[in-house]
Structure 1
Amino acid sequence: MSESDRLSPERLRTLFLFEELSEEQLGWLAERGRTEQRPAGEAVYEEGEAATCFFVLLGGAIALSRVLHGDDVEVSRTDQRGVYAGATRSYLGDRVEQRYAHTLRAVTDAEFFVLPAEEFAYAVRTWFPMALHLLEGLFFGSRAANAIVNERERLLALASLSAGLTHELNNPAAAAVRATAALRERVTGMRHKLAMIADGRLDGSELHRLVELQDDAVRRAGEADALPALAAADAEDAVGDWLEEHGVAGGWELAPTLVSAGIGVPWLDAAATTVGADNIVPTVRWLAYTVDTELLMGEIDDAVTRISGLVGAAQQYAQLDRAPQQTVDVHTLLDATLTMLQAKIPAGVRVVREYDRELPPVSAYGAELNQVWTNLIVNAFDAMPDGGTLTLRTWRAEDRLFVEVADTGTGIPDAIRPRIFEPFFTTKPVGEGTGLGLDISYRIVVNKHRGDIRVTSEPGDTRFTVCLPIGPPEEA
């Protein structure tokens, strides 16, 4: 190794990692380490390769990335002199597989101080024996604890969303089942009444006019608007009286159905003229069955449409069958999140949407952004247990897009506001929060999307503002 490849002890001391070392230790590092230059865009090392070196940044900018589900996801980017990466776990020896956990890439032309992994491990074990034991305990203990907490966090989030989704699906599904059972009864009744009408008492022309009446009744049912309660009651009384006068037993049961379809006394008079007095009873009941059937099919259609919408919202929320990074509409993501959280909205909380519909789509990781919206909205709900207003607001400023989640809850005290994005910090009672929600949200927005997340709060007005670049995250 030439002298030009070495770093002097004096330059090593300017790095924050080595500034407290002795002259002897600095000389030892200078003798065993070397400098390397890497051009912009080149991978310094690849994830999964054997971890053979410890790297310290001397100049330039670098990015760390990981392969997740087949996609290269950037997790960190910096130009801070002295940051380090590579064989950082070599001091643990063969108790941990010694492979690079990330890919390190030079964003600009970069220079590194490089120390072989075995030399770095020797220095840590020899120079800091007490610290070594602390690091070992911290590493293995934190890894086990984080695995349990993160798994529990995911399971709780999944259980909460699944419970909300099944609750929302249950109502339209039950409505469809009830309407289907009633529809079966009405169709059976229609067949019987049709047999009575068509037993020879009506000729072909009268049957033709009867079918026209049926078509008209169906059309009216599809176009009818709901009447005010008082007007509907008066119309039902009039229709019920007409049915009783014409010998239709139980007319009070048929009147609400006929009125809801826009059928009144004038229409019934026209129907009686068409079929004659002798056939009015089976005809009216047959037409009532027709109208009821049409209304029931409308209920089934509404229920199935609602189910389809919920399934679509769940797919949008989870970003199923979509690439991790894609062009997304933040309004679609926000609405899908609200749909998934419908069952968690406290009584008395009003949701207000103030969307700038002129916003362009953004290149982002949709599923991760939905996790951010979920954390912020659920926290807002928790701050308003007795009711209030949740406002979702969007706008654009130059090449940035802003999403604001505001609530009228109790607010965040000034003393704890600087700590709310710290991992494991929570103000909820023991067992009710892990303190990871806002930390995860911060890392998704800042580290992954190259954006920003800010908070302002006073009693009655707390606002979390997420700032996202409109261009691709890697170009931000």
Structure 2
Amino acid sequence: MDIQQELESNEHLSSVPKDQIQWLTDHSELLTLEIGDYAFRKGDLVDKLFIVLKGRLRIFFMQGNQQIEFGYNEKGHIGGSLPYSRLQKANGNGVAVDPTLLLALHTDYFPEMIQTQYELTEMLVHLMIDRVRDFTKFQQQNEKMISLGKLSAGLAHELNNPASAVIRSSDALKKHLNSVPLKLKKVVSMQLTAEQVDQVNEVLFSKIKAGPRINISLMERTSLEDELTDWLEEHGLNNAYELAECFVDYDLTANDLDFINQKVSTSHLSSVLDWLCNVLTTEKMVNEIAEASTRISKLVKAIKEYSHMDGGTDKQKVNLREGIQSTLTILQHKLKTKNIEVKLDIPNDLPQININIGEMNQVWTNLIDNAIDAMEDHGQLHIKSFKDRNFIITKIVDNGIGIPEEIIGMIFDPFFTTKPVGKGTGLGLEIVQSIIKQHNGKIKVNSKPGQTEFNVCLPID
């Protein structure tokens, strides 16, 4: 193989003088790789510039136990260390998928190249800028997919609960309504006076208006059920326990049963109480379906607001509270899993600011998600926004383990992460800082064990 000719035909080197290509050839070495051989592994020292003369390398990253493919270094690709690059260790893996030949220039020759081979150096610097841009774009997309996966898992869980409640309650309601015709027949056959019906309805409607009992302890409920069961059994009702369970739900007491017993004859008491239980049970099931459906509706609304489906990529005047609340709704599963108490202190009359809603929601997601990860069970998260001159300051404070002093200055650096392999790419906070800068804002952090505070400052105008 004529190395000089191969390099001169390389599209990246087409503008480089032949004598500089000759210099590159003279100072480089040839590396031969068989299929399956690694050109580099994640964490390896990057101390060579390489050019693929033949074959190809597959580039991939490990995300947990999964390989995330970045692409292929085909014939003509220039990679490895480049002039002025800060890359010291490989971020991924490169393995030969064909018999591969590389031309490698050690970084020891870079000072000489920079001083004497101007056009070659200039081309490599431009190549480095393009490579950083492409790699960062890939990692940002990967970070978004990781976040999307986390959010999707949480939302699936959040939606599953009310959806299951709707199915369960609707099935129970369908079975329950099958018995309505028989009970209605018994009620109709009683031939109660209009006054008696009004008196029973008065009790029924007052209980429905008050709604079902919510905060009642198991001990209190058991005591009330026992009291009602005793009353019902004393008055000859065979289904005493079933009725007692139903009546306790709507706070129907023994005094209420005494009142009804006085207004209807003893022979009709069983049918009247059966009908009351039937109506209250139906009301309860309908309420459960309505509550679950409302919960689903709120989640869908939060997803719509969070993803900003109806908007474009332009900035809009909005109140920060809406975006932060929708983000908290999206992350509700993680908050509930760790029993984290959230205190939201954002005035409704806070001045609106001009932001890209989708991008700022990504900021809130990263900051809140990191805070959740930093806290133990029963942690406390405080989010506060207020006006300060011509700015809106938002503080996100958690009582987690804190950020060690020796690394706090690096947390906004690209690819820096303290999370285990597969749990993060190290681009979350770098993206946060980038988005805030695009909004002419600033982000600062103060941290000590038990209190970490991120301050996001955004201009009102």
Q: What is residue 355 of structure 1 aligned with on the other side?
A: 346
| Mapped pair 1:236 → 2:225 | yes
Q: CA deviation at 1:266?
A: 2.9
1:249 is displaced (CA, Å) by 0.9
8 Å contact from structure 1 (residues 222, 261) kept in 2: no
CA offset at residue 142 of structure 1?
Answer: 3.8
> Corresponding residue for 2:432?
441
Q: TM-score, structure 1 length as denominator? A: 0.67
Given that 1:214 and 1:290 are in contact with CA atoms closer than 8 Å, whether structure 2 keeps it comes out as: no
8 Å Cα contact 1:221-1:260 kept in structure 2: no
Give 5+ residue unaligned stretches, structure 1.
1-91, 93-123, 472-476
TM-superposed CA distance for 1:162, in Å, is 1.2
The structure-2 alpha-carbon separation of the partners of 1:384 and 1:227, relative to structure 1 and needing over 3 Å to count, comes to closer
- 1:289 is displaced (CA, Å) by 0.8
State how far apart, in whole Å, the 1-side matches of 2:127 and 2:382 are. 45
Residues 265-306 of structure 1: CA distance to partner in whole angstroms, max 9, x if unpaired? Answer: 232233334442222222211210111111111111111111
Change (3 A) 1:137 1:329: same
> What is residue 388 of structure 1 aligned with on the other side?
379
| Aligned residues of 2:143 and 2:428 also touching (Cα < 8 A) | no
Residues 94-120 of structure 1, C-alpha deviation per residue, up to 9 Å, x if partnerless? xxxxxxxxxxxxxxxxxxxxxxxxxxx
Residues of 1 paired with 2:198 and 2:324: CA distance? 49
Q: Provide the secondary structure at the position in 1 that maps to 2:401.
A: coil
Partner of 1:49: none
- 2:291 alignment partner in structure 1: 302
Per-residue Cα deviation, 1:42-68 (whole angstroms, up to 9, x for no partner): xxxxxxxxxxxxxxxxxxxxxxxxxxx
Task: Tell me: CA distance 1:262–1:349, structure 2 relative to 1, closer, same or farther (3 Å).
Answer: closer
Contact kept in structure 2, 1:348 and 1:386, CA below 8 Å: yes
Aligned partner of 2:334: which letter? Answer: K
1:453 to 423, 443, 461: 443
CA contact (8 A) 2:203 2:256 kept: no
Cα RMSD over matched residues? 2.6
Q: Distance in 1 between matches of 2:257 and 2:413?
A: 72
Match of 2:200 among 207, 213, 216: 213
Q: What's the counterpart of residue 420 of structure 2?
A: 429
Q: Does 1:420 align with 2:420?
A: no
Question: Which residue is equivalent to 2:19?
Answer: none
Range 346-355 or range 365-374, more displaced:
346-355
Is the CA contact 1:426–1:433 (under 8 Å) kept in the aligned structure 2?
Answer: yes
Q: Aligned partners of 1:147, 1:360: CA distance in 2, in Å?
A: 34
The CA deviation at 1:463 is 1.0
Equivalents in 2 of 1:253, 1:416: separation in Å?
A: 63
Asked if 1 retains the 8 angstrom alpha-carbon contact of 2:375 and 2:399, the reply is yes
Which region of structure 1 is more displaced relative to structure 2, 331-340 or 240-249?
Answer: 240-249
Structure 2 segments unaligned to the other structure (5+ residues): 1-75, 77-113
Match of 1:19 in 2: none
The 3 A distance-change label for structure 1 pair 418 and 181 is same
Give CA deviations for 1:121-179 in whole Å, capped at 9, x if unaligned: xxx9x962332453365356445534442332222211111111111111111112111
Structure 1 contact 406–464 (Cα < 8 Å) conserved: yes
Does structure 1 conserve the Cα–Cα contact (< 8 Å) formed by 2:140 and 2:431? no
Query: Match of 1:114?
Result: none
Task: Report deviation, 1:219.
Answer: 3.3
CA distance in 2, matches of 1:136, 1:391: 45
Residue number among 125, 149, 153 corresponding to 1:135 in the alignment: 125
Shift in alpha-carbon separation, 1:235–1:426, aligned structure 2, 3 A = closer
Counterpart pick for 2:280 among 291, 298, 309: 291
C-alpha distance after superposition, 1:321-365 (max 9, x if no partner): 024311211112111111101122252532222334442121211
CA shift, 1:403, in A, is 0.3
Q: CA deviation at 1:441?
A: 0.8
SS at match of 1:221: helix
* 2:397 paired residue among 399, 406, 409: 406
- How does 1:117-128 map onto structure 2 within 5 Å? 128=118
Deviates most, 339-348 or 449-458: 339-348
Structure 1 pair 153/400, CA: closer, same or farther in 2 (3 Å)?
same
Looking at structure 1, the residues matched to 161 and 413 of structure 2 have their Cα atoms a distance apart, in angstroms, of 40
**Aligned-partner residue type, residue 342 of structure 2:** V
Report Cα offsets for 1:209-260 as digits up to 9, x if no partner: 3366246414313305557435543332232122212222121121021122
Q: Does residue 1:255 correspond to 2:241, yes or no? A: no
SS at match of 2:178: helix
| 3-state SS of paired residue (2:173) | helix
Structure-2 change in CA distance of 1:460 and 1:179 (3 Å): same
Superposition map of 1:37-52 within 5 A: none
Q: Scaled by the length of structure 2, what TM-score is found?
A: 0.69
Change (3 A) 1:458 1:256: same
> Which residues of 2 match residues 161-240 of structure 1 at below 5 A?
161-199=151-189, 201-202=190-191, 205=193, 209-210=196-197, 213-214=200-201, 216-224=203-211, 225-226=213-214, 228-229=216-217, 230-240=219-229
Once residues 358 and 436 of structure 1 are traced to their aligned partners in structure 2, the CA distance between those partners, rounded to angstroms, is 34
The alignment-based identity, stated in percent, is 35
Query: Is the contact made by 1:221 and 1:262 (CA closer than 8 Å) also made in structure 2?
Result: no
Structure 1 window deviating more from structure 2 (225-234 vs 325-334): it is 225-234
Cα 1:212–1:190 change in 2 (3 A) is farther
C-alpha distance in structure 1 between counterparts of 2:256 and 2:284, whole Å: 18
Letter in 2 for 1:372: V
Is the Cα–Cα contact under 8 Å of residues 218 and 291 in structure 1 kept in the other structure?
A: no
- The answer to whether the 8 Å contact 2:305/2:326 transfers is yes
User: Which residue of structure 1 aligns with residue 331 of structure 2?
Assistant: 341
For residues 402 and 195 of structure 1, do their structure 2 counterparts lie closer, same or farther at Cα, with a shift above 3 Å needed?
Answer: same
Q: Matched residue pairs, number?
A: 344
